[in-house]
Structure 1
Amino acid sequence: MIDILTENLIALWQDVIEIAPKILMSLFVLILFIWIGRLLARGVAGVLLHSAKSKTIVQFVKQLTIWLVSLLGVIPALNILGLGPVAVSLMAGGGLVAVVFGFAFREVGENFIAGFFLTFSRSFEVGDYIESEGLKGDVKTIELRHVHIRTPDGCDIFIPSAQIFKSPLFNYTRDGLRRPSFVVGIDYADDPGEAVDVLLAATNNTVGVLKDPRAIVVISALQPLYVELQVNFWVNTFEPGLTLLEIQNHVIENCCRALKNEKFTFSSDCSSNLNLSAGSTFRITHDS
């Protein structure tokens, strides 16, 4: 019994000695491919850092490159060990598994692929104010699977990348220029041309309003009870200082004050007109 065990151990040892060079060679080839993968990934990451804004996509491509090159190294390593059929089976099985997972997680994969292309499209960046499918907000992060935006009222929304990639996208701050607008109604007894001049002067004298592109005030509609004027002006959101909402608020305040000082009567779509022409005294007149 001991003799048989000894013979088996000797035979096993001889087999190990015979196959040891192949094992070492296959390990060398596998380590070589891993090293090449890391080297290639480092080079790809260096190139992407100059074009991609998201560190997430750079890290993703880097890891993907390492894994792909390393998997390619498994094939020659198995062939050196005389396991070529095993390598073919692994590749075929891996392809089948990839197909199954592709169908099972189609939407997840679609979002990842869309996120990949969004990173390079540069249609928007972190900090931009965008709209997609009626969802508006400032872009906080751009991930592979989703885009995180925050609405003006502080709500965090995570939009799937595929939705943004396939739907029309509105970028309100690509060049920093925004054009807020608001409407005001004056009584038919007042001169609309003079009101346009008053509103335009008040708008241009507001801090934060750009001179180029210039502000414009137009008669936008003739309502049943009042003449509607629309004030349009431009703001550069890239400039430090007041925010867009603050500048818009100041413009409305200045326009309201200017119309009041010039004895204009504010009107609305209700049956009463508010007359601000008497200083601090309000006079309410009712339409018949």
Structure 2
Amino acid sequence: MIADLHRVLTAYWQQLLFVLPKLVLALVLLAVGLGIANHLSRLLGRRLHRRSADPLLADFLTRISQWVLGLIALLVALNVLGFSGIVGSLVGAAGVSAFIVGFAFKDIAENFLAGVMLAFNRPFHIDDTVQIKDLVGHVVALNLRTTLMRTFDGKHIFLPNSMVLKEPLINFTRDGDLRMDFLLTVEVGPDTTPDLATSIILRYLSTVPEVQQGLRTPYVNLEKATATTADLRVYFWGDAEDYRRGVLQFKSRLMQQVKQELLGAGLGVPALVG
């Protein structure tokens, strides 16, 4: 038994000595290949950022190039070790084994393909404010599998790309303009009609530079009226580039200023709702 064990160990040792040079060469080639892949992907990333106006697409293509070049380095190392059959299977990606692997990594492949579609379709850009289901925040990054979104209260949410692609997506800042509204209740009487309140509001809004005019002129709708009060809904367009803070502050400031204008004209404003 000891002789058989010695013979087996000797055979393994001889095989290791035979494979060791190839293994060392493969590891060296893999390390050099990964270094070259990282260097080339960084060069490509800098070039894409200089030439592209969309940093989201540039970052995504840079990551894809890094993975592709790294995979090529791995295939070369496997080929040096003599695993040409494995290399052929990986490159061919055919047969029952490929089907099993594809099924096992269905979600990963689905999210990757969804990320590619999002990168080229570009329903959002970096720092755009979007809503997906009940999640609202601004886009931070698009990765190979996930979309990173940061909510207004500082939470980072990693959404699967397939979910972002399938679910309805609301982009608040894509066009740079956003319609806002607020509801106010005005006291009315014989001398203070809803039309008078409306004219005061529109006259004031026409003097505010941040409120858009022309095709997107402000307007006021009468939603409810009683013998003593009228509920007026005020609609106006403003700049939505800084949705996280600027839009909300602008709307709040405008609500208070409209209230002061009505009070200055002798109209009571018992309620003001955003």
Q: Distance in 2 between matches of 1:69 and 1:117?
A: 24
The CA distance in 2 between the partners of 1:93 and 1:161, in whole Å, is 25
Distance change >3 Å, CA 263–CA 237, structure 1 → 2: same
Aligned to 2:62: 59
The one of 218, 228, 238 equivalent to 1:235 is 238
2:41–2:62 CA contact under 8 A, matched in 1: no
User: Which residue type is aligned with residue 228 of structure 1?
Assistant: D
Asked if the contact 1:146–1:160 (Cα under 8 Å) also holds between the matched residues in 2, the reply is yes
Q: Deviations over 1:227-256 (max 9, x none)?
A: 2211112222348xx811121111101111
Contact 1:195 1:259 (8 Å CA) reproduced: yes
TM-score, with length taken from structure 2: 0.68
| Aligned residue number for residue 171 of structure 1 | 171
Q: How does 1:72-111 map to 2 (within 5 A)?
A: 87-88=84-85, 90-92=87-89, 95=93, 98-111=98-111
3-state SS of paired residue (1:179) = strand
Matching residue within 261, 265, 269 for 2:264: 261
Structure 2 equivalent of residue 217 of structure 1: 219
> For residues 74-106 of structure 1, what are the alpha-carbon distances to aligned partners after superposition, in whole Å with 9 as ceiling and x for unaligned?
79x67xx9x6xx523553378466544432232
* Residues 141 and 149 in structure 2, CA contact (< 8 A), matched pair in contact too: yes
Q: CA RMSD in A?
A: 3.8
Distance 1:89 1:153 in 2: 49
Partner of 1:202: 204
Please say if residues 53 and 119 of structure 1, whose CA atoms lie closer than 8 Å, have aligned partners that are also in contact: no
Q: Which has the higher helix share?
A: 2
Unaligned ranges ≥5, structure 1 = 1-11, 17-22, 270-288
Task: Determine the C-alpha separation between the residues in 1 that align with 2:217 and 2:235.
Answer: 6
- Which residue of structure 1 aligns with residue 116 of structure 2? 116
Aligned partner letter, 1:122: R
Describe the superposition over 1:19-56 as per-residue Cα deviations: whole angstroms up to 9, x where unpaired.
xxxx9xx99xx89xx69x95986886577544452354
Cross-structure match for 1:141: 141
Aligned-pair CA distance for 1:267? 5.0
Q: Which has the larger radius of gyration?
A: 1
User: For structure 2, which runs of at least 5 residues remain unmatched after alignment?
Assistant: 1-13
1:90-125, Cα deviation, whole Å (9 max, x unpaired): 533784665444322322332222123212222111
SS at match of 1:131: strand
Is residue 129–residue 173 contact of structure 1 (8 Å, CA) maintained in 2? yes
1:25-36 aligned within 5 A: none
Q: Deviations over 1:186-231 (max 9, x none)?
A: 2352311111111112333345323355442222412557422111
Using the alignment, how far apart are the partners of 1:267 and 1:250 within structure 2?
A: 18
| Post-superposition offset of 1:135 | 1.7
Structure 2 contact 45–59 (Cα < 8 Å) conserved? no
Moved more, 42-51 or 192-201: 42-51
Task: State the match for 2:157 in structure 1.
Answer: 157
1:250 maps to amino acid: R
For residue 258 of structure 1, report the CA deviation from its aligned partner: 1.0
Bigger RCO (CA 8 Å, 6+ sep): 2
User: What is the CA–CA distance in structure 1 between the aligned matches of 2:143 and 2:179, rounded to whole Å?
Assistant: 29
